[in-house]
Structure 1
Amino acid sequence: MKVMLRVFLEAKKYWFYLIMALVALIISTIAGFYAPWALRELTSIAMEGHPDFASKAFSIGLLLLLTTALQSGGASISGYLNHHAALHYVADLRTELYTKLQHMGLKFFNKNRTGDLTSRVINDSMEAEILLAHVIPDLVVNILTFIGVGILLFTINVKLALLSLVTIPFLIAITLWQSKYLSPIWNQNSKVRGELSGTVQDNFSGIREIQIFNQQDTEKRKISSLSLKHTKAYLKASFFFETTYPLLAFFTALGSVAVIIYGGLLVERQEATIGDIVAFIMYLNMFYEPVKSFSSIAEMAGNAVAGCRRVFEVMDESPDVKEVPNAKKLSQVHGKIEFRNLSFNYTPEITVLENINLIIEPGQTVALVGTTGVGKTTIASLLNRFYDPHKGSIFIDEIDIKNVTLKSLRDNISMVLQDTFLFNGTVYENIVYGWKDASKEQVIQATKAANAHEFIQELENGYDTIIGERGIRLSGGQKQRLSIARAILRNSPILILDEATSALDTKTEREIQAALDRISKDRTTIVIAHRLSTIRNADKIVVLDGTGIAEIGTHDELIRYHGIYSSLYNSQAS
């Protein structure tokens, strides 16, 4: 109920449409009450042999036509307005959920599968439409019908009305028993659906590896197992529904049978007319329908609430990286970076960095080297505030980065990564991704500086060529050049190069390294590298070992020191 109420309150923007839909729905429902009453009146005047039967029947027919038109029109208007409000709310909810996810830290994404999050944005958010456009209107119709028809039943015949109430406790008991067991099943069903979605997305992303290692059958078994798990969860819910529905139908029929038998007795005693009995039976079906259909509404609501709950779980998640109140804008950055007593761990059991102290002066190129897992990329992530350190601080131009807005911080940092991510769009769209207002001339200057202009010109549509998902239509070197062009165009005062050339062949590496050397001038650059030959000219080389800094110096100084760096460099050179 809390989830349903939250959806309704959050749809406040569309309450006008929902209220108008409610008015139309009430008119439609009340208009639908007339048909049995009309048949009662028609039967009564026929049995009485009314002298003006034709005229009376004509009046009843016209009124029935009017109420039928109101019923149909009201239902149509209500349905459209409810869907208008519901679907617009779903669009807002998806946008809000996506925006929330964009501002979550990497820690959140590390513990949640991409496919499951995608399922929440696309599938689970759509369940709000079920609540607003189907469940809530159906509940209103059923409550209104139950009360309205109940009053009419007592108006026609009190004794028959009281008799018809005998089966109601049984119908309510069955419905409550059903809904009690269905709710956790629907929660499980939504969870399994998210897991299935996540696995499918993972497999499509890694389809090359699946085919290389001939693991199609293994992955097929995984998907089959999850699909079966989803089917079993759904069937379990279906079992409760299909078991209880015949019981509901039985007790509904039982009530009608009791009314027919007792009604015949009342007619014989002249305590009721045939018209009363005919109308009563028709109304009785309408009276039992809300109780009987409550089980299907409960099933629909359970499924929808489970989906919405998964959406709100993310919406209520507290970001691990937050801006302080009244955070300042970081502007006119010169590029001085200081790591002061910095400590960080991904899990409490394993410390990655401990008491790191490092100063990088404006315009310096500083290389971070060390074996895998010593925290080189972690330092870059902490500088971008993808994570916050557990102890210590990071300063840019003597300003603690926790006191500035995330947008202004990241506007001043560009990154070129080993695993370049390109979007499924044109070459041009990917280059200007970090600066949408760049001119065509500025884009061309950036691509020439990145040694990318020539190969772009050779593509089928030049800068307007669609490069496919993750840039699948480009080679590794071409993708890396576009990434460098994107960084050049953004022209940030701080540049991070994270293994930017490690996956390339020697010729391509030389070309891209030349482009990187050009863009590193006049800005503070942090280079993370395994190939030590690419960082010989760095102003400062920081050697990480264990959880801290083991050595600092220039290439020549560290070679003479005969420590960790010297050993690494000599092993690569040999």
Structure 2
Amino acid sequence: MKVCIRVILGAKKYWGYLILSMISIIVLTLTQLYAPWVIKELTDLATKGDPEIAAKASKMGLNLLAAYALQALCSFTRGYSAHYGAYHYLADLRTALYDKLQHLSLNYFNDKQTGQLVSRIMNDAANVELLLAHAIPDLIINVFIFLSVAAILFSINVKLAAASFITTPFLYLINIFYARVVLPKFRLNQKAIGDLNGALQDNLSGVKEIQVFNQQEYEIRKIGMLARRQSNTFLNAMRLGELFHPFISFFSAAGTVIIIIYGGYLASIGEVSIADIVGFILYLGLFYQPITRLSDVNEQLHTAIAGCERVFEVMDEESSIKEKINPTQLTNMKGDIEFRHVTFHYIEGSPIIKNFDLKIQSGTTVALVGPTGVGKTTLVSLLNRFYDPVQGSILIDNCDLKDVSLKSLRDNVSMVLQDVYLFTGTVFENIAYSCRNATKEQIITVAQKAQAHEFIMDLEHGYDTYIGERGVKLSGGQKQRLAIARALLRDAPILLLDEATSALDNQTEAAIQQALSILSAGRTTLMIAHRLSTIKSADQIVVLEGTGVAEQGTHETLLKKKGIYARLHAAQDI
């Protein structure tokens, strides 16, 4: 019930269309109730031998024709208005759900499959349309028909009406039991769909690796297993539904049998007319129809509610990164950075960084080096506030990041990751992603600085070349150069480079290092590198080991210490 109310309140902007649909439903129901009454009255005229039967029948026929015309109009208005409101709200909900995912911290995504989240947006969210355009209207129309027909039945004959209720408790109990058994099954079905989508997303994204390691047969079996599991889950729910349908039909038919037998008895003692019996039986079909369809409506409601619950589960998710009310806006930023007693872990009890302290003066270049797993990339992620420290604080220009607006923070930080992500689109669109209003001249300038212009011009359509999903048509080095150009275009006072030149050959790397040196002038640069040749000119090199700083100094100073950095330097034979 709470889910239904939340969906209805969420669709407030489209209430006008939904109310019009409800009005159409009421009028449509009233026109459906008119036809049996006409037949009852005509039967009454015929059995009584009314001399004006022809004229009265003609009048009733024309009224019935008008009712059918109104019924057709209301049927269209009901369907279109309900779907118009439902689909527009669905578009709004999908957008809101995507926006919610965009603002959740990276912690949320660490244990989620992309395909499952896509399923929430596409499959689960679609259930609001089922709820607003089908389940709720069907529930209302069935309740209205039930109450209206019950009133008519009692107006025709109280005894027959009372007899018609004999089977309703059985029908009600069957539907209640059906609802309690089937609802969990449909929830499992929604989860099974999400699991299948997640596996498909993973496999299609990693199709190259699957082919490289000849794992096609294994993956086919895995997808087949998940597909069969989803089918079996759905069929299990449907089997229970089909099991109950015969019982519902039986008790509905039993009610009609009771009326025929009891109605015949009442007619024999003169308590009911033939016309009343005919009308009663016609209305009885409408009376049992809502009860018979209750299982179908329940099925729709439970399917829709199960999907909507999964949507609202995401919408209600609390982000671990919370922006304070009226946060500080970073303007005219110098770029001083300080890590103050910072501790962070992904898994509680296993700190990646512990009591970490580091000051970076504005306009300087600091390099982080050390073995894999010591927290180099984590520090960069913390600085961008993808995560918050477990303890301690990070300051920029003496402002705690937790007091700063996320937008102003990230507007002042440009970043190049080791794992480059390019969007489906053109070369121009991917470079311009960091600055939507950039001109063609600005794009070309940063591409030249990133040593990308030459290979871009060799592409089929130059900057307008479509590069495919994740830049599949480009080499690793080409993708990284586009990512560097994208970061250069941002022109932010803080530059973060996480193995930004790892996929480049030595000649290109040397050229880009020269461009990055020019770019770094006057701005704060924090770089991560395994190739120590790329950080010789850094103002400060920080060597990480364990959960903290092992050594710190310039390239020459660290070599003289003959410590960890010197050993790494010797191992690379620079």
Deviation at residue 404 of structure 1 after TM alignment: 0.9
Alignment partners' CA distance in 2, 1:40 and 1:531 = 93
Deviation at residue 524 of structure 1 after TM alignment: 0.8
Deviation at residue 269 of structure 1 after TM alignment: 2.5
1:26 is matched with: 26
Q: Tell me the alpha carbon deviations over residues 196-250 of structure 1, each in whole angstroms, 9 at most, x when there is no partner.
A: 1111100111110011111111111111111121112111111210010100000
CA contact (8 A) 2:363 2:524 kept: yes
1:530 aligns with 2:530: yes
1:150 is matched with: 150
The DSSP-based 3-state class of the residue aligned with 2:527 is strand
1:173 is matched with: 173
Q: Tell me the alpha carbon deviations over residues 339-372 of structure 1, each in whole angstroms, 9 at most, x when there is no partner.
A: 1111111111211001111111111111000000
Question: Which amino acid is 1:497 matched to?
Answer: L
After TM superposition, the structure 1 = structure 2 runs for residues 49-64 of structure 1, keeping only pairs within 5 Å, are: 49-64=49-64
After TM superposition, the structure 1 = structure 2 runs for residues 360-439 of structure 1, keeping only pairs within 5 Å, are: 360-439=360-439
CA contact (8 A) 2:394 2:401 kept: yes
CA contact (8 A) 1:484 1:516 kept: no
CA contact (8 A) 2:451 2:508 kept: no
1:240 is matched with: 240
Alignment partners' CA distance in 1, 2:209 and 2:517 = 34
CA contact (8 A) 1:342 1:392 kept: yes
CA contact (8 A) 1:24 1:77 kept: yes
1:340 is matched with: 340
Alignment partners' CA distance in 2, 1:477 and 1:397 = 35
The DSSP-based 3-state class of the residue aligned with 1:166 is coil
Stretch deviating more after TM superposition (216-225 or 368-377): 216-225
Deviation at residue 266 of structure 1 after TM alignment: 2.3
Alignment partners' CA distance in 1, 2:106 and 2:554 = 33
Alignment partners' CA distance in 2, 1:361 and 1:93 = 45
The DSSP-based 3-state class of the residue aligned with 2:423 is coil
Question: Which amino acid is 1:489 matched to?
Answer: L
Q: Tell me the alpha carbon deviations over residues 547-574 of structure 1, each in whole angstroms, 9 at most, x when there is no partner.
A: 0000001111111101111111101117
The DSSP-based 3-state class of the residue aligned with 1:345 is strand
The DSSP-based 3-state class of the residue aligned with 1:33 is helix
1:259 is matched with: 259
1:323 is matched with: 323
Alignment partners' CA distance in 1, 2:80 and 2:344 = 54
Alignment partners' CA distance in 2, 1:306 and 1:515 = 55
Deviation at residue 518 of structure 1 after TM alignment: 2.9
Alignment partners' CA distance in 1, 2:207 and 2:348 = 34
1:208 is matched with: 208
1:502 is matched with: 502
Q: Tell me the alpha carbon deviations over residues 404-454 of structure 1, each in whole angstroms, 9 at most, x when there is no partner.
A: 100000011111112111110111111111111112211111111111122
Q: Tell me the alpha carbon deviations over residues 321-348 of structure 1, each in whole angstroms, 9 at most, x when there is no partner.
A: 0111110111111111111111111111
Question: Which amino acid is 1:44 matched to?
Answer: D
CA contact (8 A) 1:266 1:272 kept: yes
Alignment partners' CA distance in 1, 2:395 and 2:444 = 34
Deviation at residue 110 of structure 1 after TM alignment: 0.4
1:442 is matched with: 442
Question: Which amino acid is 1:273 matched to?
Answer: S
2:90 is matched with: 90
Alignment partners' CA distance in 1, 2:270 and 2:211 = 83
1:35 aligns with 2:27: no
CA RMSD for the aligned pairs? 1.1
Alignment partners' CA distance in 1, 2:510 and 2:268 = 106
Deviation at residue 46 of structure 1 after TM alignment: 1.6
Deviation at residue 489 of structure 1 after TM alignment: 0.9
Deviation at residue 313 of structure 1 after TM alignment: 0.5
The DSSP-based 3-state class of the residue aligned with 2:167 is helix
Deviation at residue 67 of structure 1 after TM alignment: 1.3
Stretch deviating more after TM superposition (158-167 or 498-507): 498-507
**TM-score normalised by length of structure 2:** 0.98
Q: Tell me the alpha carbon deviations over residues 86-126 of structure 1, each in whole angstroms, 9 at most, x when there is no partner.
A: 11111111111111100001000102111111110111111
Alignment partners' CA distance in 2, 1:505 and 1:164 = 86
CA contact (8 A) 2:418 2:499 kept: yes
1:231 is matched with: 231
Alignment partners' CA distance in 1, 2:454 and 2:567 = 40
Alignment partners' CA distance in 1, 2:297 and 2:505 = 62
The DSSP-based 3-state class of the residue aligned with 2:346 is coil
1:141 is matched with: 141
1:354 aligns with 2:354: yes
2:305 is matched with: 305
1:566 aligns with 2:566: yes
Stretch deviating more after TM superposition (221-230 or 311-320): 221-230
After TM superposition, the structure 1 = structure 2 runs for residues 177-188 of structure 1, keeping only pairs within 5 Å, are: 177-188=177-188
Question: Which amino acid is 2:77 matched to?
Answer: I
CA contact (8 A) 2:339 2:393 kept: yes
Alignment partners' CA distance in 2, 1:441 and 1:505 = 27
The DSSP-based 3-state class of the residue aligned with 1:496 is strand
Q: Tell me the alpha carbon deviations over residues 347-401 of structure 1, each in whole angstroms, 9 at most, x when there is no partner.
A: 1121100111111111111100000000000000000000000111111111111
CA contact (8 A) 2:366 2:538 kept: yes
1:122 is matched with: 122
Question: Which amino acid is 2:145 matched to?
Answer: T
The DSSP-based 3-state class of the residue aligned with 1:536 is coil
The DSSP-based 3-state class of the residue aligned with 2:51 is coil
Question: Which amino acid is 1:464 matched to?
Answer: D
Alignment partners' CA distance in 2, 1:411 and 1:111 = 28
CA contact (8 A) 2:145 2:290 kept: yes
Q: Tell me the alpha carbon deviations over residues 480-538 of structure 1, each in whole angstroms, 9 at most, x when there is no partner.
A: 11111111111001101101122333333333333333322221111101111111111
CA contact (8 A) 2:449 2:512 kept: no
Alignment partners' CA distance in 1, 2:208 and 2:251 = 58
Alignment partners' CA distance in 1, 2:69 and 2:275 = 24
Q: Tell me the alpha carbon deviations over residues 288-310 of structure 1, each in whole angstroms, 9 at most, x when there is no partner.
A: 11111111111111111111000
The DSSP-based 3-state class of the residue aligned with 1:331 is coil
The DSSP-based 3-state class of the residue aligned with 1:549 is strand
Deviation at residue 463 of structure 1 after TM alignment: 1.4
1:79 is matched with: 79
CA contact (8 A) 1:125 1:311 kept: yes
Alignment partners' CA distance in 2, 1:253 and 1:506 = 85
CA contact (8 A) 1:498 1:527 kept: yes
Alignment partners' CA distance in 1, 2:433 and 2:499 = 21
Q: Between the two proteins, what is the percent identity of the paired residues?
A: 53
Deviation at residue 273 of structure 1 after TM alignment: 2.2
CA contact (8 A) 2:360 2:366 kept: yes
Alignment partners' CA distance in 2, 1:419 and 1:101 = 21
Deviation at residue 6 of structure 1 after TM alignment: 0.9
Gaps of 5+ in 1: none
**TM-score normalised by length of structure 1:** 0.98
